[in-house]
Amino acid sequence: MPAKLPSARAGLEGLTGDFPLPGQKDPVALDNAQPAADLAAADRVTGLDKLELGGASDKGSLGKRIWRSAWPKLLAVAIVLIAWQAVVWAEWKPSYVLPDPLTVFKDLGSVITTGDFWGGVRVTMVRAVTGFALAVLIGTVIGAAVSRFAPLRAAIGSLITGLQTMPSIMWFPLAILLFQISESAILFVVVIGAAPSVANGLISGIDYVPRTWLRVGQVLGMTGFAKYRYLILPASLPSFISGLKQGWAFSWRSLMAGELLVIVPGALSIGVRMQQARDLNESSLVICFIIVVLVIGILIDVLFNAADNALRKRWGLTGN
């Protein structure tokens, strides 16, 4: 920064010509010549702004930045693979029960090139997206209602948090009794698992809108709908997004539990294929599907994080 000071100064000198420099304003000149004083004042303001903003920081090239964020992840994967291989070499379990990484990845390679596999992924993803969308809709409506009406909050505010901590697998016996072995049973559990997180995200977002912003809203005369449209909803967005992210994690877990427990005839989802592999004692294939589920989970998490980071960057909530 100090190196930038002289050049900023020099720029101002060029602009002001005969007028006093910033910090050296001459009171006589100020009193006598109004336009000159005004120009000098303009320069002082612009000069100060330039000094305070400083220079742009160098973040390095795109390649470097990708490498910087990628290598710890690659290292972690490598450590897991080495540990796995070590356990296999130690012959803790026979290789048809615990195959080595190379065999699994070869199987994975042949599995993901079949149409059947992608059909299964499609069935699972359609369920996940439908369930999550429904959970977002219901969670948002409940969250908005709870934060709007005090008696409702007293009535079900803590119930929502309670539901959030409930293991979703507990709902399956009831879901099966209510909906039999059907898509609806799975959907029910996915929604009930994810909606409380979405609702809670919205509620805490609305609760923690900074007081100063609310005061500005009052000063600007915001009431009713306008207050929600222009202040409360945008202000609660970061918390709502983390609610969505958590909601997704819950719905994904509930869905996987559901696909293993509620096997709907004809729908060969990832869970069903995994169950079949277990029935046939195909360890390698079971591990393949674990990897697939993990990868899908990570990819979606990356999407949510990207949204979260973009928002943080826009709002200036990152670092400095």
Partner 1 sequence: MSVVTLEQVSKQYGAGGNALLALDKVSLSVDKGEFVCLLGASGCGKSTLLSLVAGLDQVSGGTLDIGGRHVSLMFQEAALFPWLSVAGNVELPMRLNGVARAERQQRAEELLGIVRLKGFGSKRPHELSGGMRQRVALARALAQNADILLMDEPFGALDAMTRDILHDELERIWREQNLTVLFVTHNVREAVRLGDRVILLSSRPGRVIEDFAVTHERPRRIDSPEVAGQAAEITDRLRAEVARHAS
Given the rule CB under 8 A, which residues bind partner 1? 27, 30-31, 37-38, 41-42, 44-46, 48-49, 52-53, 210, 212-213, 215-216, 218-222, 226, 230-231, 234-235, 237, 314-317
Q: For 285, how many CA atoms within 13 A lie in the half-sphere containing its CB?
A: 16
Dist. CA 51–CA 115, nearest whole Å: 61
Helices (H), 90-171: 101-111, 115-148, 150-165
Q: Whose Cβ is closer to partner 1: residue 42's or residue 280's?
A: 42
**Cα–Cα distance, 296 to 314 (Å, whole number):** 27
Q: Which is closer to partner 1, CB of 75 or CB of 317? A: 317
User: Given the complex with partner 1, which of 7 and 218 has the nearer CB atom?
Assistant: 218
Minimum distance from CB of 144 to partner 1 (Å)? Answer: 18
Q: DSSP assignment, residue 229? A: I
Question: Considering the complex, what minimum distance in angstroms separates the CB of residue 62 from partner 1?
Answer: 22
Give the type of residue at 309. Answer: N
Q: How far is the CB of 247 from partner 1 (least distance, A)?
A: 22
Distance between CA 280 and CA 86 in Å, rounded?
Answer: 26
Helix (H) or strand (E) holding 314: helix 283-315
Q: How far is the CB of 133 from partner 1 (least distance, A)?
A: 24
Q: Which is closer to partner 1, CB of 143 or CB of 217?
A: 217
CB of 27 vs partner 1, minimal distance in Å: 7
Q: Name the residue nearer to partner 1 (CB basis): 152 or 311.
A: 311
How many of the other CB atoms lie within 10 Å of CB of 109?
10
**30 vs 134 by CB, closer to partner 1:** 30
Ramachandran region, residue 17 (left: φ > 0; alpha: ψ -120 to 50; beta: rest): left
What is the gyration radius of the CA atoms in the chain, in angstroms? 30
State the nearest-atom distance from the C-beta of 40 to partner 1, in Å: 10
Q: Rank residues 150 and 220 by Cβ distance to partner 1 and give the closer one.
A: 220
Structure tokens at 264: 């709907």
d(CA 286, CA 138) in angstroms, rounded, equals 34
Q: CB of residue 209 vs partner 1: minimum separation in angstroms?
A: 11
Distance between CA atoms of 144 and 135, rounded to whole angstroms?
A: 14
